[in-house]
Every structure is written in structure tokens, then in C-alpha cells.
Amino acid sequence: MATKASAYLSMVERAQGSHAGEPAWLRDLRGSALAEFRRAGFPTTRHEDWRFTNVAPIGDTPFVEPPPAEVSPDEVARVLVPGVAGPVLVFVDGRFAGKLSTPAPPSGGVTLRPLADALLERPAVLEAHLGRYATVADRPFAALNTASFEDGAIVEVADAAVVEGAIQVVFLSTVTPAPAVSHPRVLVLLGRHSQARVVETFAGLGPTRGLTNAVSEFVLDEGAWLDHVRLQREPGSAFHVGRAQFHVGRAARVSSTALALGGLIARLDTVAVLAGEGADATLNGLYLADGVRLVDNHTDIDHAVPHGTSRQLYKGILDGRARGVFNGRVRVRPDAQKTDARQTNKTLLLSDDAQVNTKPQLEIFADDVKCTHGATVGQLSAEALFYLRARGIGEQDARAMLVRAFAADVTGRIGLDPLRADIDRRLASMLPGGRVAEVVA
């Protein structure tokens, strides 16, 4: 699909003028990414990692840069997690919206900045970290993001700081006259023995056929703890491609939950590199799709050193003619002895036409390890439905109860109580009678 990338290349090259004032290292980073995208183009189903996900509708759409848009505080409030204290950064169509954001208190040990401010105030930190983890080789959408992003969120948590509540980073897409593309960028740096919760939200403010192409990098220093939730609930007509990259240091721990509730085509690559001894990573995910929607989750956990622990639980709920994809890879390098890795993928099909392609992978090059994986695909239990019906519960309500119980195995693991309650409320509205229906902001 390399020829279809020409329009995107032209758009990126036109934007190079706006990057002229950036430091040389960032221009070099963008140039390398652009060269990689020019070489690779969009992936096709002939690529192993994309063989079940046809992105031709993305390549065929003549996206434009979104014009400036006004968003009201009420519209932002509808997508924030209610009842959660903490700083908020808001971006509208990929651009920082300072009037809609809430800064962090100066004494809280956390600093949030848009990228433009960080380039002036913390250039050495950005040069050391931005783009160093979410590399672009054979990652065409990440390359496109790195070459193109206009703005981004930079979060720094000081050593030993404990951030109360949650840090929320919100990316809103507005309705534009023509399909628009934005490239959200996030960099989160957690200092030694710090603790923080970060919620990334991607939402649309109406029906749009735009593309959100997001890259987030999370770097955990020794002993750091991160509780991360990624909530994607864009309109069912939109396209979403994302990458979440975690670099987990010695004795650090990350728990990440990815929720995919919208998008016509939605793809997320989640990569965790356990780079320090005693590192721990938990990756959970829940995705819902109906109609002809497609949701694709690829995970890659790299046990690079000994004594690492990883857990994965991904669940999908598919209705209509929707399709799901799960590809979960766990790599254990030759020196990564005493690794303990477990992976589980379960998919619930609510119709005869829904389908899922699941591929768990273990690549083990060490001998003293404990690694397991498993995948199941099924429909609602007739026995459980009969049990509920026998107690006077209607069929639609019984189906809804079973579907919500299936999803609760993932949502129940979210550590932030107000967020878990908010997600449960949204799921309840999405699953009347066991059906899946999109919810947009």
C-alpha cells in the first residue's frame, strides 16, 4: 500500500515548515520517522502483524489537517472521569487547549506540560526520552505519528512522589467538514519509587470519519508504580490506531487496562519491556464491537532480564458482523531466568456472524521459567441463561447480566473506584439486552 501513502507524505512534508524552529535532534527524529514511513507505506494484509486487519479504508481516505475548533467546558466534563481529583490536560484535534486544562499543584511532585512548553523548559529531558522507546522500524503508524505530531502531553513525576487522584490526559476529536487526522503524543516519566495513576481518554464530539493516530511512551524508573487506563470511545465511524509503550525498570510495576469501545477500525499495539530485575507488568483489555466494526489488539511483553513477572487478560464482546483480533506475544530472552508469565484471551460472540482471530505466542529462550497461555471463544451459556430465566428474569435482562459479568472480570480490576464505577455505568448503557451499541461523548 506504499503508493497510497503519497497523500500522507505530502501532508507531512507540507508541515515541515512549522517544525523549522524545533531543535536539531527533534528534526532528525522526525526525518528518520518520515524516511521509515516513506519506505514502508501503509501495512497490508500480506504483513504478518496485519493479516487480519485491512487498513485500506484508512489509506483510501483523503484526510486533511483539522481546522481550529472551539470546545466548551461542558463537553470536556462529559468525558472526564467524575469524582476524580487531579490535574487534566486537554487536547482538541491534537492541539493543546490550555483554557480547558487544569494544572497540577506546584507542591504535588508532578508536572504536566504541553510539548511546546517542554521544548523550552526541559529540552534535555525530552531529547533523552521522546521517541527512544516507541521506535518506528516496521511500525508505519508510529513512524507517521513521530513525523507528524503537532503537540503532545509531557508528564513528569518526581522521585518518591505519590500523586493523589489521577492524572487525566484527554484527546477530543471534533466534527470537521472533511475527514481529519490528528497525531496525539504522550510521554510519561515516573521517578524512582514514585506512584501515579494516569487515564488517557480518546473521545469524539460527534459522528466523524477522522483518524486518530496516537503514540504514548511510559518510562518507569526503579521501584516506580503506575496504574494506567486507556479509554478509547470514539464514534463508530472513526478510525483509531494507537501504540502504548512501557519501559519498566528494576522492581517497578505497571498495571494497564485498555478499553476499546468505539471506532470503525480500532487497532492498539501495547508493548512492555521489562528492562530491570524484578519488574512486573499487568496488561488487561476489554473491547466491544457490533455492526461491521473491527477491533484489533496486539500485545508484546519482552522479558529482557531475570525475575520478571507479567500477566495478561484480554476479553472481547462481539455482536452483529463485528470482527475481533487478538495477538499476544511473550518473549523471554536467553538471560531472563526465573520469568513468570501468564496470558489469557477470552471472546464472547453474541451472534453467529461475529468472528475473532486469536493468536497467543510464547517465544522462550531461557529454561528456568514459568509461562502459560490460553484462548477461548464461545457464546452465552445456555445453562446460565436457563438458571436466570427459571428465577423470573426476562431473556434480554438475563443476557445483559451475563455479558456484564463477563466484562466485569476486566473492569473489576481497575484500581480507581470512581473510574471503575464510570466504566460500569457506560457499559450498562452499551449493553441493553445483551446488545452492543456505541456511546459517544
The β-bridge partners of 167 are 198
The three three-digit cell numbers of residue 261, written as one number? 469501545
The total number of structural domains in the chain stands at 2
Label residue 85 exposed, middle or buried (CB < 10 Å: 0-12, 13-18, 19+): exposed
Q: Please check whether residues 134 and 270 belong to one and the same domain.
A: yes
Q: What is the pLDDT at residue 426?
A: 78
Ordered alpha helix ranges (H), 166-310: none
Q: Report which listed range, 11-20, 79-88, 284-293, is most confident.
A: 284-293
What angle, rounded to 10 degrees, do the helices at 6-15 and 140-148 form? 30
pLDDT band at 6 (very low <50, low <70, confident <90, very high): low
The answer as to whether 305 is a domain residue is: no
Ordered alpha helix ranges (H), 260-416: 382-389, 395-411
The three three-digit cell numbers of residue 151, written as one number? 503537540
Give the whole-angstrom CA distance, residue 182 versus residue 302: 29
The three three-digit cell numbers of residue 430, written as one number? 452499551
Length of the chain: 441
The answer as to whether 345 is a domain residue is: no
Please say if the pLDDT value at position 375 is more than 50.
Answer: yes
Q: Please check whether residues 161 and 15 belong to one and the same domain.
A: yes
Domain boundary among 276, 294, 316: 276
Q: Give the residue from 288, 298, 359 showing the smallest Cα distance to 323.
A: 288
**Domain hosting residue 391, numbered range:** 386-441
Over residues 139-166, the pLDDT tens digits come to 999 999 999 999 999 999 999 999 989 9
Please say if the pLDDT value at position 435 is more than 70.
Answer: no
Q: Are 315 and 288 in contact (CB under 8 A)?
A: no
Q: What is the pLDDT at residue 440?
A: 36
Q: Please check whether residues 270 and 405 belong to one and the same domain.
A: no
Over residues 348-369, the pLDDT tens digits come to 999 999 999 999 999 999 999 9
Q: Are 217 and 187 in contact (CB under 8 A)?
A: yes
Task: Output the DSSP codes for 52-64.
Answer: T---HHHHHS--B
Task: Output the DSSP codes for 121-148.
Answer: H-HHHHHHHTTSSS--TT-HHHHHHHHH
Higher pLDDT, 439 or 234: 234
The three three-digit cell numbers of residue 166, written as one number? 489521577
Average pLDDT score over the chain: 91
Over residues 172-225, the pLDDT tens digits come to 999 998 999 999 999 999 999 999 999 999 999 988 889 999 999 999 999 999
Q: What is the pLDDT at residue 438?
A: 39
Q: What mean pLDDT is predicted for residues 375-403?
A: 86
pLDDT band at 289 (very low <50, low <70, confident <90, very high): very high
Q: What is the pLDDT at residue 400?
A: 83
Please say if the pLDDT value at position 14 is more than 70.
Answer: no
At residue 12, φ and ψ (nearest 5 deg) are -65, -45
The answer as to whether 412 is a domain residue is: yes
The answer as to whether 366 is a domain residue is: no
Residues 6+ apart with CB under 8 A from 226: 188, 190, 195, 196, 197, 198, 218, 220, 246, 252, 253, 254, 255, 256
Q: What mean pLDDT is predicted for residues 375-382?
A: 89
Label residue 66 exposed, middle or buried (CB < 10 Å: 0-12, 13-18, 19+): buried
Higher pLDDT, 398 or 129: 129
The answer as to whether 223 is a domain residue is: yes
Task: Compute how many other C-beta atoms are within 10 angstroms of the C-beta atom of residue 344.
Answer: 18
Domain boundary among 245, 276, 307: 276
The answer as to whether 64 is a domain residue is: yes
Please say if the pLDDT value at position 434 is more than 50.
Answer: no
The separation between the first and the last C-alpha atoms of the chain, rounded to the nearest angstrom, is 33
Residues 6+ apart with CB under 8 A from 83: 418
Please say if the pLDDT value at position 49 is more than 60.
Answer: yes
Label residue 422 exposed, middle or buried (CB < 10 Å: 0-12, 13-18, 19+): buried
Residues 6+ apart with CB under 8 A from 231: 199, 200, 201, 202, 203, 259, 261, 423
Q: Please check whether residues 168 and 33 belong to one and the same domain.
A: yes
Task: Compute how many other C-beta atoms are within 10 angstroms of the C-beta atom of residue 367.
Answer: 8
Label residue 88 exposed, middle or buried (CB < 10 Å: 0-12, 13-18, 19+): buried
Give the whole-angstrom CA distance, residue 27 versus residue 62: 26
Q: What is the pLDDT at residue 307?
A: 97
Higher pLDDT, 20 or 312: 312
Q: Are 283 and 299 in contact (CB under 8 A)?
A: yes
Task: Compute how many other C-beta atoms are within 10 angstroms of the C-beta atom of residue 122.
Answer: 17
Domain boundary among 276, 298, 322: 276
Cell numbers 467524575: residue: 82
Q: Please check whether residues 404 and 264 belong to one and the same domain.
A: no
pLDDT band at 48 (very low <50, low <70, confident <90, very high): very high
The answer as to whether 361 is a domain residue is: no
Task: Compute how many other C-beta atoms are within 10 angstroms of the C-beta atom of residue 128.
Answer: 12
Please say if the pLDDT value at position 321 is more than 90.
Answer: yes
The answer as to whether 348 is a domain residue is: no
Q: Are 74 and 154 in contact (CB under 8 A)?
A: no
Q: What is the pLDDT at residue 5?
A: 65
pLDDT band at 18 (very low <50, low <70, confident <90, very high): low
